[in-house]
Amino acid sequence: MISRRNYFAITIVMFIIFFMFLSTGVITEIWNEYETNSYSKDSRKLPGKSEVYSVSRGAEGEIPGHSRDFIVYVGGKEMEEAVEIWASYTKKNMEGYISLTQCGQAEWKEEQRIPSMLVIDSGHIRWEEGEELEYLEKCLEEGIDVVFCNMPDASVIKKSRRIQSLFGIRSVKAERTDVKGVHLYEGFLLGGEAVYLTADKKEQKKRQDMDLTLPWYELEAGTEVYMKGVTDEEVTESEEYPVIIWKKNYRGACLMTVNGRYMEDFGGIGILSAMVAQMELYDLYPVVNAQSIVVADYPVLAQENEEQLMDVYSRDMQGVERDVLWPEIMSVYRRNRMGLSCMMAPQLDYEDDLLPDREQLHYYVKNLNKEDTEVGLSGVSISDTQLRDKLSVDYDFIHGELPEYQFASFYAGSMNEDEIKATMAGEDMTSVRTVIEEDRRDDEIVGYLSEHVTKQKVLSDGFTHTYRDDLRIKCVETMLGYTNILIDVTDALYPKDKTDSWEKLAEDLGWNIRDYWKGFREFQGATASESDEYIRRFLALDYSWQRDGKDIRLQVFNVREPVWFILRTHNEAIDRMEGGSFTELEEDVFLLELEEAEAVITMKSTVLTYEY
C-alpha cells in the first residue's frame, strides 16, 4: 500500500514534470514569432557594392612600415579573371600585361617597386627567345616569386635544358602519359590529404573526372611536390609518379608550377592561396567563414502531381514532403555544422489550377523557424508561366496570409545574370538582399549583383560528389572558408520514373556531406542571409599587419567586427591572441576571429629543441 503522503508526493512530482514539458512546448509556441522573418534586414543599412574595398580607395589608416603587396599577371583573358578575383579577395593590387616585354616596360619597373609575385600563363611566353628566359631568371634573382598557371608544351621543354632547369625538371620521361588517379599531399589545400583513386570500379566510374592525361616530368633534387598523378604502383615507385604541382626554391624566391588544367576553373583561386602559403614564412588573409546548405523548391505548398507521386511513393505531395523528404533533410542538417535555407516554392506548376494550401504555409514557416532554418523564395517553375507573373502570384498568396513576412534570400535556379537583375527590379522583390546562383563555371564565387544585393555561387550538388568536385571544394575552402551545397528536390517531386525517386537521389546525400566536408567543421554554419552579412563584411574590409619578433599586429578597417582570417604558418603555432580568438583548423593553419579593430597574435615555435 502507498501511504497518502507518498501518493500525494508522487502526484505532485508527476504534475510538475507534466507542467514542465507542457510549459516548454507552450512557451516555444508563444515565442515562435514565425509571422515575421528574423533574417530580414534593410539592405540599405548594410555594406553595399560601393563600399567594396579597392586598392585605389585604400584604408583609413596604415601601420607604419607596412607596404601593400601587388602582383603582376602576364597572359591573356583566359586566366586573368581568376587571378584578378583572387587578388581582390586578398586585397592585393594587380597589374596585368599581355607579354613579358610589356611587363618589362611597365611603370612599376621605372618606379623601382617590386611585386610580391609574378603569375604567368605560359602560352604568352616566347620560349624560343633567350631574353624572356633571362627576364624570368632575373625576377627570381631579385626575390620575386613566380607562379606558372600551366606549362609550355612538353616538346618545348624537352628541347631546352635551360627551360628544364628553370622549372626544376631533371628529364622528360614522356611527353604524354595516362595516370589512374591523383594524389593530393597533406598541408597544401585545407582538408588534408586525398587520393583520388579507388579499386572499386563502380565507385571509380561514378567519381573519377580528374584530368588524367599529362606530360611526365622527373624533377631535380630539392624540389617539393604537392600533387602527383598515380600510375601502377607495381611498376613505378611512388616517388617517380608524374608531378602535377611542385615548387623549386631559388635564393630568396620560389617558382611554383601547375602541370595540367587545374587552374582553369574557380578552384584556381584556392591553388593560388595554397601556393602563397608554401612560398612565404607565413600567410594571413581574410575569409568569409560560412558553410551553407540550400534546399531548392522545398516546400511546395500545392497538392500537385498526385498521380505520379502516388505511383512512386504511394503518397501525395504533402505526404512526400513531410514523410519522405523532411526526415532526411533534417537529419543532414542536424548532423553537420552547417546553416540550412529552404527555398519555398508555393507552386511549381501554375497551369494546373491547383492552388497553394494556406495551412501548409503556416505549418512549414512555423516549423522551419523552430529549427533556426531560413525560409527563402524559389524562382523555379515547371510551367510556361512568365517569371514575373509567377512571383506576383506568389507574393499575393504569401502576403495575404503573412502580411509582415519579408523574404531575404532568393534561389535563381538556372537564370542568367541579366534575367536575375530584371527579376530583382520588381517591387515584390525589394526585401531580397541575396541571390543564390547555380554554378556557371565563372570565377566569381561571392560578389554583388547590384548596389544592395549580393550573389552567392552554389559550389556543389549534395547528391553527387566527384573527385574534381572535391578538389574544387578544398580550393574554395582554402581561399574563402566558404561553401554552398545545393539539394534540389524538384526531380524527386516530379519524377519521370522510380529512378528519380528521393530514395535513389538521396542515397549518398548524408554520406557525401558528412565525409567530404568533415575537414571544415570548424568553419561557421550560416543560412543564406547570414552568409550575405559575412560576404558584405569580407568584401568591404581592408587589413594591414606587421610582425615584430613573435608578435603579429593585425588591424582591420572599413567594417564592423567580427571578421575572420586564416593564418598559415610553418612550424609555428599561436600562443595567445588579444583582440579576438582563434581555432586550430589543422597543423599550421588557424582561423582567427577579430572581435576588435586591432588584434595582436603571439606566436610560438613548434619545433622541438634539445639541450645537451
Average pLDDT score over residue span 214-233: 91
Per-residue pLDDT tens digits for 296-308:
999 999 999 999 9
Say if residues 113 and 187 touch (Cβ distance below 8 Å).
no
Q: For position 290, what pLDDT does the model report?
A: 98
pLDDT tier for residue 405 given thresholds of 50, 70 and 90? very high
Q: Residue 66: pLDDT above 50?
A: no
Q: For position 57, what pLDDT does the model report?
A: 46
pLDDT tier for residue 23 given thresholds of 50, 70 and 90? very low
Q: Residue 246: pLDDT above 70?
A: yes
pLDDT > 70 in the chain, percent = 90
Average pLDDT score over residue span 87-96: 92
Q: For position 503, what pLDDT does the model report?
A: 92
How far is Cα 515 from Cα 502, in angstroms, rounded to an integer?
A: 20
Q: Characterize 135-160 residue by residue with b for buried, 16 or more Cβ atoms within 10 angstroms of its Cβ, and e for exposed.
A: bbbebbeeebbbbbbbbbebeebbee
Q: For position 4, what pLDDT does the model report?
A: 61
Which range in 26-35, 59-68, 258-267, 549-558 is most confidently predicted, on average pLDDT?
Answer: 549-558
DSSP conformation letters of 486-532: EEE-HHHHS-SSGGGSHHHHTTTHHHHHHHHTGGGTTSPB--HHHHH
Per-residue pLDDT tens digits for 116-140:
999 999 999 999 888 999 999 999 9
Closest CA to 517 of 290, 297, 330: 290
Q: Residue 108: pLDDT above 80?
A: no
Q: For position 417, what pLDDT does the model report?
A: 87
Average pLDDT score over residue span 188-215: 93
Average pLDDT score over residue span 156-165: 95
DSSP 323: I
pLDDT tier for residue 33 given thresholds of 50, 70 and 90? confident
Per-residue pLDDT tens digits for 313-336:
999 999 999 999 999 999 999 999
pLDDT tier for residue 96 given thresholds of 50, 70 and 90? very high
- Residues pairing with 287 in the sheet: 564
Alpha-helical segments (H) within 142-225: 154-159, 161-167, 201-207
Of the ranges 86-95, 101-110, 227-236, 523-532, which one carries the lowest mean pLDDT score? 227-236
User: How crowded is residue 37: how many other Cβ atoms within 10 Å of its Cβ?
Assistant: 22
pLDDT tier for residue 414 given thresholds of 50, 70 and 90? confident
Average pLDDT score over residue span 131-155: 94
- C-alpha distances (whole Å) from 72 to each of 53, 111, 520, 545 are 19, 15, 31, 22
Residue with cell 517569371: 387
pTM here? 0.91
- C-alpha distances (whole Å) from 208 to each of 182, 204, 226, 475 are 10, 5, 20, 18
Average pLDDT score over residue span 421-441: 89
Q: For position 321, what pLDDT does the model report?
A: 96
The structural domains of the chain, ordered by start, are 68-281 (3.40.50.880), 290-533 (3.20.20.370)
Q: For position 28, what pLDDT does the model report?
A: 42
Per-residue pLDDT tens digits for 474-529:
999 999 999 999 999 999 999 988 888 999 999 889 999 999 999 999 999 999 99
How far is Cα 377 from Cα 126, in angstroms, rounded to an integer?
A: 52
Q: For position 267, what pLDDT does the model report?
A: 85
How far is Cα 193 from Cα 506, in angstroms, rounded to an integer?
A: 27
3-state class (DSSP) for residue 82 = helix
Average pLDDT score over residue span 569-574: 95
pLDDT tier for residue 239 given thresholds of 50, 70 and 90? low
For 236-282, what is the HEC assignment?
CCHHHCCEEEEEEEECCEEEEEECCCCCCCCCHHHHHHHHHHHHCCC
pLDDT tier for residue 231 given thresholds of 50, 70 and 90? confident
DSSP 338: -
Average pLDDT score over residue span 329-346: 95
Mean per-residue pLDDT of the chain:
89
Of the ranges 71-85, 356-370, 561-575, which one carries the lowest mean pLDDT score? 71-85
DSSP 220: P
